[in-house]
A and B are shown apart, each in its own frame.
Chain A
Amino acid sequence: MTLDLFIRCLDTFGADFRRWPEEYRSDAMDLRNASAEARRHWEAARRLDTLFALDRATTRAEGAAPASLIDGALRRIRNARRPAIDWSWLFGRPMRAALAATFAAGVLSGVLIGPEPLAVRPQGEFVISFLLGDGATDLMEPLR
């Protein structure tokens, strides 16, 4: 193993050889034991690893997770489960039939009990009276 490769591995995997790829481990240990330069690099990497370990310990010591977190999550889960207002009944077959029957009853009652339709003046007569006044409709008498 070259010193360059040794340094690159240290800068990736840290000083703990157990975390290195297996094929490098024994060569790396040999190099560290044989080379003062390699050992200095290894010790620098170990200092950073120690800081990581201390920071990890600090992070773990920063208070337990509040139980309310799980309760809060469960509350949100239950709220999400609660069904929204269901309008589908409005579009169901019975409702459609009821609406159709109401419409038909309205039409039928309009036909049976509604007033007689007013007599409608012929369309031509209406146009002439509109243009020339009501008296002008007399001009149409011979045509009737």
Chain B
Amino acid sequence: MTEDSDEALMRAIAQGDEAAFRTLAHRHLERIRRLARKMLGGQTDVDDVAQETLLRLWQHATDWRPERAKLTTWIYTIVYRLSIDRLRRVRTLSLDHAMQATDPNPDALASLAQASDVRRLAAAMQALQPRQRAALALFYYEEMDGAEAAAVLGLSLRAFWSLLHRARQAVQQRLQVSTPSQEDPA
């Protein structure tokens, strides 16, 4: 274990080391914001959730057990729970609104032919149930394996696969991606 491994940094944070906290926060902040952004859609809440996640990381540093879960899994769990809390409070966008929503920063892909499809996908994702959205974000965006993603959501692996299946199908339906199975169920 190196001096700046997640484990070593977390031990230092548990003893009140602010420099270690800063290093760890820099290392994980982007992924924290990515998941929060995928879950919440809006920019303001994203940064609130990100900061609250960092705060929890500090406050509960002694609770993390490396033998039980990877640090990223633990962090994603915090982000997921905070995002769900936030969504419950805000009562998320209606489906109609979500389907009209535009990508907050479409310029990055404006030159690509698929940009509008990507925007439709982002809107379709926002219209999903939060758990379905989280399943897709963890598996397809964060590229976690099934067991880790299931742990973040507090599900068995079997339940996670089932959730992921429903989520992907829901996105396909919302995008109206015409697959052969929709045309011909045989």
Interface positions of A (Cβ within 8 A of B) = 7-8, 11-14, 19, 37, 40-41, 44-45, 47-52, 54-66, 69-70, 72-74, 76-77, 80
Contacts and interface: CB of A to CB of B under 8 A. Distances in A.
Contacts of A40: 179-180
Contacts of A74: 18, 21-22
SS of A interface (majority): helix
Given A12-B161, A58-B108, 18 more contacts: A8-B165, A11-B172, A13-B164, A40-B179, A40-B180, A41-B180, A44-B180, A45-B179, A48-B175, A54-B112, A55-B121, A59-B37, A62-B105, A65-B29, A69-B47, A69-B51, A70-B25, A76-B55
B26 interface: yes
A70 B29 contact: yes
Contact of A51 (B50, B59, B105, B114): B114
Most B CB contacts (10 A, CB to CB) among A11, A13, A59, A74 go to A59
A58 B172 CA distance: 20
A50 B120 CA distance: 13
A69 to B, nearest CB: 5
B127 interface: no
9 contacts: A40-B180, A55-B121, A56-B141, A58-B106, A59-B141, A60-B34, A69-B50, A69-B51, A69-B54
Contacts of B114: 50-51, 54
Contacts of B21: 74, 77
B168 A62 contact: no
Contacts, number: 111
Nearest to B162: A12
B25 A54 contact: no
Contacts of B5: none
B8 interface: no
Contacts of A66: 47
Nearest to B47: A69
Contacts of A51: 114, 117-118, 121, 175
A61 B141 CA distance: 13
A62 B25 contact: no
Given A52-B121, A55-B121, A77-B55, A11 B165 contact: yes
Contact of B103 (A58, A70, A73): A58
Contact of B118 (A11, A13, A54): A54
A48 B118 CA distance: 10
A59 B143 CA distance: 14
Interface string B118-130: 1001100100000
B29 A69 contact: yes
Contact of B104 (A8, A48, A62): A62
